[in-house]
Amino acid sequence: MTNNKAVLSWLEEMKALTTPDNVVWIDGTQEQIDKLRAEAVAEGELFKLNQEKLPGCYLHRTAENDVARVEDRTFICTTKKEDAGPTNNWEAPDVMYAKLRKLFDGCMKGRTMYVIPYMMGSYGSPFSKIGIELTDSRYVVLNMLIMTRVGTKVLEELGDSDDFVKCLHAKKDIDAENRYICHFPEDNTIWTINSGYGGNVLLGKKCFALRIASHMGHKEGWMAEHMLILGLENPEGEVKYIAAAFPSACGKTNLAMLIPPEMLKGYKVWTVGDDIAWLRIGKDGRLWAVNPEAGFFGVAPGTSTKTNPNALKTTMKDTIFTNVLLNTADNTVWWEGLDGEPPKEGIDWKGNPWTPESGVKGAHPNSRFTAPAKQCPCISSEFEAPEGVPISAIVFGGRRAKTAPLVYEAFDWQHGVFVGATMASETTAAAAGAVGVVRRDPMAMIPFCGYNMADYFAHWLEMGKKIPNPPKIFHVNWFRLDENGKFMWPGFGDNLRVLNWILDRCEGKADAKETAIGYLPEAKDINIEGLDISAETLEKLLSVDKSVWKEEVEGQKEFFAKFGDRLPKEIKDEIEKLSARLA
Ligand code: OXD
Ligand code: MN
């Protein structure tokens, strides 16, 4: 499919290492997709769902030990350990290559190697980047065909350039003990082995578009962020764009596809992206964002007509479901939190017969749908705009029971970077490990920053100096609990009420009061018309408890201490200033 010498010689090297029986180039044609689907069904890799109700939809089950990203097996391999920083696992490239070569040695014998040329970003965009993934998994191929732009056209755009990310994946034995997700940012290379779970093996997503791309952005003067991008259209038809970072499973996909509440029917939310944003300074001096992905890899449980009808509609065709329940009555899918009664019987994510009385979950809490973004009913007309969309506000958020108020605004860019750097959240099922523990997760990038996070903060600060017209920075918390452990804010569509205040602030149209942590709305500034919330609850949602915040500062200091002298002075200054304001 190509005469590109860099591609061909790398491919020869990888073939010699892994010794596949066959090599198949993925051209992106429907004909080839149909063939791969049929083969995957024949081999039991995919289950064909009810094609009348769910045309083009399939179900896949991963191994039971392989259901989430594995951060303890994820490595950033840079020559110098300090360049990976204290928040990443590190190994020297030569040591890691040697270790992995042993694992990859001959591992595709008897298997087919698929060559997937893919593009992150839209065709013809100056911001797009190319990768080539070699994999022995048809599931990976079929997912990559949804999540990225794949095929002959990508190779045409690459021409004879050697500027592509070299990605190698093998399922091998799905051996958790020998699972590795390794990044070599200095040679634009990703090698991953012994997993078949999306986040570890769809290498365009977290591995390239965040870890490798953040490293590229640092070198080249742009940013790769774990952010959704949405356009909010007001009743006058003006659209303003917001980029928002939340840790995994804090409702990013739901926010990106928000449906306005009845009271605010004149508003409309348009989705540009639900997970990743690449941000650059535009010719007009503003910050512009593109979504490098072509699909959504969303968490299924909890997705319903109430929480996210747009996501649900997006998954009605050409979607791959992973680890959800198979409803055997009509070969459709189900997960906990979907509308209506659970099916009377089915096959659970482990492949076992299931009934509502089984006492186990039908779908894994981190079960997923992989769906083409273009099918989303609220996809933005700017989804593929080559230059992206101009960002008015950056929003950080987390899942905090007590500390953070519903919303606040940073004093300026530097303080905003500090607000992002001090983000924290209670953990969920998206990553392996304990659930419900508070974890510091600056800019929601802890698992995804491909270099030293102290340098990452410095890069944010540097970018701020270079953006003549920077977006304002905010922090939100939809998850504050009352004394009885109940959520105080309704969330979902009603989050629009908070986004409206945010955009009004950006346009100088809303008031705020200055507090120790930033600018907060007065209760009267948030429109709660039609909401079942008392003024008192809203006051509480907007309150800042200084004693809780003093404890918070201690936690922040402890976290930042990890970075030693590499931590930018501006961050140290901000923590001092916050302490002084709280005193
Ligand atoms: C994701 C994640 O899958 O952040 O998007 O874990
Ligand atoms: Mn994510």
Q: Per-residue pLDDT averaged across 4-24, rounded?
A: 98
Using only C-alpha atoms, the chain has a radius of gyration, in whole angstroms, of 23
- The reported pLDDT for the residue numbered 397 is 96
CB atoms under 10 Å from CB of 534, counted, come to 10
At 436, the pLDDT band (50, 70, 90 cuts) reads: low
Identify the residue whose C-alpha is closest to ligand 1 atom 3: 199
The 10s digit of each residue's pLDDT in 455-481 is 999 999 999 999 999 999 999 999 998
Q: Per-residue pLDDT averaged across 79-99, rounded?
A: 98
Atom of ligand 1 nearest to the CA of 444: 4
Q: Which helix (H) or strand (E) holds 13?
A: helix 5-18
Distance from the alpha carbon of residue 298 to the mean position of ligand 1, in angstroms: 8
Taking a C-beta distance cutoff of 8 angstroms, is the pair 185, 76 a contact? Answer: yes
> Annotated catalytic residue: which of 250, 376, 449, 506?
250
At 433, the pLDDT band (50, 70, 90 cuts) reads: low
Q: Per-residue pLDDT averaged across 285-312, rounded?
A: 96
Domains and CATH numbers, the chain: 5-45+69-221 (3.40.449.10), 225-293+381-582 (3.90.228.20), 295-375 (2.170.8.10)
- The reported pLDDT for the residue numbered 550 is 95
The 10s digit of each residue's pLDDT in 350-364 is 999 999 999 999 999
Distance from the alpha carbon of residue 147 to the mean position of ligand 2, in angstroms: 13
Distance from the alpha carbon of residue 366 to the mean position of ligand 1, in angstroms: 9
- The reported pLDDT for the residue numbered 434 is 62
- The reported pLDDT for the residue numbered 425 is 86
Atom of ligand 1 nearest to the CA of 69: 6
pLDDT over 90 percentage in the chain: 93
- The reported pLDDT for the residue numbered 413 is 98
Atom of ligand 1 nearest to the CA of 198: 3
- The reported pLDDT for the residue numbered 578 is 98
Identify the residue whose C-alpha is closest to ligand 1 atom 4: 248
Average pLDDT, the chain: 96
Distance from the alpha carbon of residue 445 to the mean position of ligand 1, in angstroms: 11
Examine the pLDDT at 523 and tell me if it is beyond 80.
yes
At 485, the pLDDT band (50, 70, 90 cuts) reads: confident
| Probe residue for ligand 1, chosen from 195, 197, 248 as the CB with the greatest number of ligand atoms within 8 Å | 248
| Ligand nearest the Cα atom of residue 227 | 2
Atom of ligand 1 nearest to the CA of 247: 4
Distance from the alpha carbon of residue 166 to the mean position of ligand 2, in angstroms: 22
Distance from the alpha carbon of residue 420 to the mean position of ligand 1, in angstroms: 18
Examine the pLDDT at 428 and tell me if it is beyond 60.
no
Closest CA to 383 of 564, 485, 263, 257: 257
At 435, the pLDDT band (50, 70, 90 cuts) reads: low
Examine the pLDDT at 374 and tell me if it is beyond 60.
yes
d(CA 145, CA 210): 19
pLDDT over 70 percentage in the chain: 98
pTM: 0.96
Taking a C-beta distance cutoff of 8 angstroms, is the pair 280, 385 a contact? Answer: no
| Probe residue for ligand 1, chosen from 181, 200, 206, 370 as the CB with the greatest number of ligand atoms within 8 Å | 206
**Is residue 250 flagged as an active site residue?**
yes
Examine the pLDDT at 482 and tell me if it is beyond 80.
yes
Examine the pLDDT at 429 and tell me if it is beyond 70.
no
| Ligand nearest the Cα atom of residue 430 | 1
- Which residue's entry shows tokens 């949804």? 146
Quote the strand ranges of 222-286, DSSP E.
223-225, 227-233, 239-245, 268-273, 277-281
Identify the residue whose C-alpha is closest to ligand 1 atom 2: 248
Closest CA to 494 of 305, 260, 230: 260
Atom of ligand 1 nearest to the CA of 448: 4
Atom of ligand 1 nearest to the CA of 275: 5
Identify the residue whose C-alpha is closest to ligand 1 atom 1: 248
Closest CA to 458 of 429, 506, 421: 421
At 426, the pLDDT band (50, 70, 90 cuts) reads: confident
- The reported pLDDT for the residue numbered 507 is 96
| Ligand nearest the Cα atom of residue 67 | 1
Taking a C-beta distance cutoff of 8 angstroms, is the pair 100, 182 a contact? Answer: yes
381: tokens are 């007309």
Examine the pLDDT at 431 and tell me if it is beyond 70.
no
At 402, the pLDDT band (50, 70, 90 cuts) reads: confident
Distance from the alpha carbon of residue 578 to the mean position of ligand 1, in angstroms: 31
d(CA 574, CA 571): 5
Residues in the ligand 1 pocket, defined by CB under 6 Å = 69, 199, 248, 275, 297, 430
Strands 239-245 and 389-397: parallel
The 10s digit of each residue's pLDDT in 210-246 is 999 999 999 999 999 999 999 999 999 999 999 999 9
